[in-house]
Each structure stands twice: as C-alpha cells, then as structure tokens.
Amino acid sequence: MATFKIEGGHQLSGEITPQGAKNESLQILSAVLLTPDKVTISNIPDIRDVNKLIDLLENLGVKIQKNNPGSYTFQADDINLKYLMSPQFKEEGRGLRGSIMIVGPLLARFGKGYIPKPGGDKIGRRRLDTHFEGFISLGAKFRYNEEDHFYGVEAESLKGAYILLDEASVTGTANILMASVLAKGKTTIYNAACEPYLQQLCKMLNRMGAKITGIGSNKLHIEGVEALSGTTHTMLPDMIEIGSWIGMAAMTKSELTIKDVSWDDLGQIPNVFRKLGITVERKGNDIYIPEHKDGYEIQNYIDGSILTIADAPWPGFTPDLLSIVLVVATQARGSVLIHQKMFESRLFFVDKLIDMGAKIILCDPHRATVIGHDFEYSLRATTMTSPDIRAGVSLLIAALSAKGTSTIHNIEQIDRGYEHIDERLRAIGAKIIRVD
C-alpha cells in the first residue's frame, strides 16, 4: 500500500490545469461499445478507475490505439461476448464501480449485458436498482446469480418506453439512455440527471446519429435509430478537481490560477466557495485565487442564521465537493453546517480532522457543524488513512495546511480519481513525496 508524506505549512503558487472529468470518462468510454466504427476521445484522465475501464474494454475485444497522452481511438467491431462470462471478468469488473456502465451499451447492441456486483470505495450504498428497472422497462429480462453476485440483463429486442426514474441517478440515466438510443420507438426518461457530464454524453450520442432532445433538462426524449456511427469527443475538465484546487489555495493562503476550467459548466461551485469567504475571480476561462492573507469569512444568511451547505442533484451542489468544503471551513472565520444528504457515511473521515485539532461536531451520519479557527491555530500533522477518493484529497489539503509532516496511507483511493496528483502539486511548490 502506497503512502504520501506531506510537509505542511508551505505556500503554493503558479498555475495548475485540471484533468479530464473522471465521472464523464466512465460514461463516454462505455459509449464506444454502441458502434462498430472508430471513436476518438481526447482529454481522458490517466487515473486508476479510467485505466481499469480501458483495460476491460480491451479484454472485451475493443481495438484501442493511443494517439498521444490523454487521447485514444476505440473500435468495437469485433466484441468477444464470451469474456463476460469468464472468471477474469468477474474479478476485474468487481474492482471497478464504473463497470456497470458497459451494461446499457452491450444490451442495446448485442441484446445482453452482465456485471459482477461492483466494489470501489466505502461511502455507503450505491443502488443499482435504477439501472436495472430502466432496462426492464425497455423489455429486458433481469437475472441475478446469488452465489457469485452476478447480475445480467437479456433481450431479443428493446422497445421504447416511458421511464420515470426513482432517483436522478447520473450513472443510471446514462446507462438507460445508452440502452434506449438503439431501441425501437420512442423513449422518455423523466427525473433524468442533467449534469454537464450527461449533457456531454447526449451531445456525443447525437453526433453518432442518435436522436435525443431535452438535453440539459430532467426530461429526455429519445427516438430509437437502427445504428450509430463513429465520432470524436473531448472531455470537460473535472469540476471536482477544480473545486479541490480552490479549497487548497484558500487553506494554504496561496495565490493560484486554475487553467481552462469551462466556467459555464461549473454550476454552483464558485458561488459556494464565495459563501465561505473565498475570492474566486474569473479571468477568461481561468479561475484566479488571490493570496488570502487575512483568511476568509463565512457568510451568514440575511437573517443572521448559520450558513448550511448541502448537496443536491444538479444544478445543486455536487456531493463530491462537500468533504472539500468541510475541510476548508476548519480555518474560516465563522461556522457552517455541512449536510451530506446523498451518501450516509461520507462524513466519517471528520474523526481524522478532529485528531488534527479541527473544531467539528458530527451531529449524525449526514450532518457536521464546523467552527472555524480563523488561522489562529494551525491543524496538527498526523497519520491517517484515506477511506475514499474525495475524503482522501480533503485530508491531503488538511495536511498541506498543517504544521509538521503528515502521513496518508491507502493513497490508491486518491489515485483512483486524481491524475499524478503528487507530481502536479510539487510543480506548484507542495512538499509531498510518494512512498511505495
């Protein structure tokens, strides 16, 4: 298990460019299975979860050509469906949450899709019901092998249907959408997720010949087509990474420019950080964070009551950034209530922050009150273990602002979502080393 050693208390400076979006990658890469033609995708992040999915596609028989760093051409003209039943697939698919995303395209094009029960991080239950209920509505038969925790859907042909999702699941919407583009007739997906990543998928599918309308809303209309052709696609920058760097700049009182952020796709993110008192300036397509010499002050509501920051489906604030906001609040002036609605155990990492000297009251599994230090006290360096991707980076940000040398174990979790994070942070002045 690899480890980061971080010497905190140093200012950072310079420019950092966000990687391609992890959550978009898993959807877009799965979509290459919908056509036998070539699909070229650029700005793919070089991270563990994405590389695992690329390996999985290759084992399925997809021809993969690397053009240059972050750009690949895929061609799924000779797919080996027998691989789906192999012990190798059961093992490889289990280690990757994103593997569920191949089921929709496989079902649409080949009439069957299988998946082992996925693993990943420890942030609570992520139900797959939404995905499978959608496939069943399109006419697929569902089966589950309890012995080896193996799910499957099969259909001779898919027929368009009116589907009301029980939750606005991003992956669920994407999976059902990919299954429906080749179904006969019209499909309506209501209570659909409408994240920028999903809009990107819709636009890509339309360029491939799909007929999707209502993009960006919670009601998608799909008219099934016979076949899809090839296309090119460029990923958006990763908004979670952008939010992480905003928080890191404020906590380390650093002047930082975040390059090419695709401002119009950031939704609430800049505003939420502004509510914490952080100056977020737009400069063209970049974000400029000045040095916060005097710290930053949390805004109260107009009536004087304590600020609450909660996650919600898009265009609400993304749950992936709540752990970052929580860490940043530990050094703010004032107090804030963090309400994590969508996952039940994402706040358990606060114990580590309390060990470092943060003033946090964990009210219940979903809520934590943070009382900021206003930089009167530094956090203390400590040894900790990363439970999931986002908590891992939050602890990393805490370590960068703390006095002394901190150790973070299980950094494989961070590598799942952040590309060469230690090298990129060293380039802007962080004292961080990787110990294998």
215-252 residue pLDDT tens:
999 999 999 999 999 999 999 999 999 999 999 999 99
| 129-137 helix and 170-180 helix, angle to the nearest 10 degrees | 20
The per-residue pLDDT for range 256-280, each reduced to its tens digit, is 999 999 999 999 999 999 999 999 9
For 398, the 3-state DSSP assignment is helix
Give the end-to-end CA distance of the chain in Å, rounded to a whole number.
7
User: 303 and 213, same structural domain?
Assistant: no
Assess whether 121 carries a catalytic annotation.
yes
**Which element (helix H / strand E) includes 239?**
helix 239-251
Q: Which residues share a beta bridge with 337?
A: 308, 369
Q: How many CA atoms lie within 13 A of 52 on its CB side?
A: 25
* The pLDDT of residue 435: 94
Q: What is the mean pLDDT of residues 143-149?
A: 76
Question: Do residues 426 and 338 both lie within one domain?
Answer: yes
DSSP assignment of 257-268 equals EE----GGG-TT
* Edge-to-edge order in the sheet of strand 405-409: 383-385, 405-409, 3-7, 431-435
Span 393-399, average pLDDT: 96
Task: Examine the domain organization and report whether 9 and 26 are in the same domain.
Answer: no
Model pLDDT, residue 72? 98
What b/e string do you get for 10-27 counting C-beta neighbours within 10 Å, with b at 16 or more? eebeeebebbbbbbbbbb
Residues 426 and 288 in one domain: yes
Q: Which of 192, 211, 234 is the last residue of a domain?
A: 234
> Does residue 143 carry a pLDDT above 90?
no
Residues 245 and 218 both lie in one domain: no
Same domain, 127 and 246: no
Mean pLDDT, range 36-53, rounded to an integer: 95
* pLDDT for 387: 84
- Please give the pLDDT value at position 232: 98
Give the number of other Cβ atoms within 10 Å of residue 196's Cβ.
20
Q: Which of 208, 234, 260 is the last residue of a domain?
A: 234
The DSSP 8-state label assigned to residue 125 in this structure reads -
Convert the pLDDT of each residue in 153-163 to its tens digit: 999 999 999 99
Same domain? For 118 and 50 the reply is yes
Asked if 162 and 200 sit in the same domain, the reply is yes
Average pLDDT over residues 135-145: 91
User: How confident is the model over 304-324, as a mean pLDDT?
Assistant: 95
DSSP state of 85: G
Residues 139 and 277 in one domain: no
* Residue 257: other Cβ atoms inside 10 A: 19
| CA 401 to chain CA mean position, Å | 24
In this structure, are 263 and 139 located in the same domain? no
This prediction's pTM: 0.91
Q: Give the single-character DSSP code of 160.
A: -
User: Which position among 121, 238, 320, 415 bears the catalytic label?
Assistant: 121
The encoded tokens of residue 384 equal 């900790």
Question: How many domains is the chain built from?
Answer: 2
Both structure tokens of 24: 């978009």
Instruction: Please give the residue range of the domain that contains residue 267.
Output: 3-19+237-435
Residue 341 predicted with pLDDT over 50: yes
What does the block give as tokens for 297?
């002050």
Say yes or no: 97 and 217 in one domain: yes
365-375 CB burial, b ≥16 within 10 A, e <16: ebbbbbebbeb
The CATH number of residue 349's host domain is: 3.65.10.10
Look at residue 305 and tell me whether its pLDDT is greater than 80. yes
User: 311, 361, 406, 418: which is closest to 49 by C-alpha?
Assistant: 418
Interval 186-218: pLDDT, tens: 999 999 999 999 999 999 999 999 999 999 999
Decide if pLDDT at 119 tops 90: no
Contact 9, 402 (CB under 8 A): yes
φ, ψ (nearest 5 deg) of residue 424 = -70, -35
Domain-ending residue, one of 206, 234, 262: 234
228 and 316 in a single domain? The answer is no
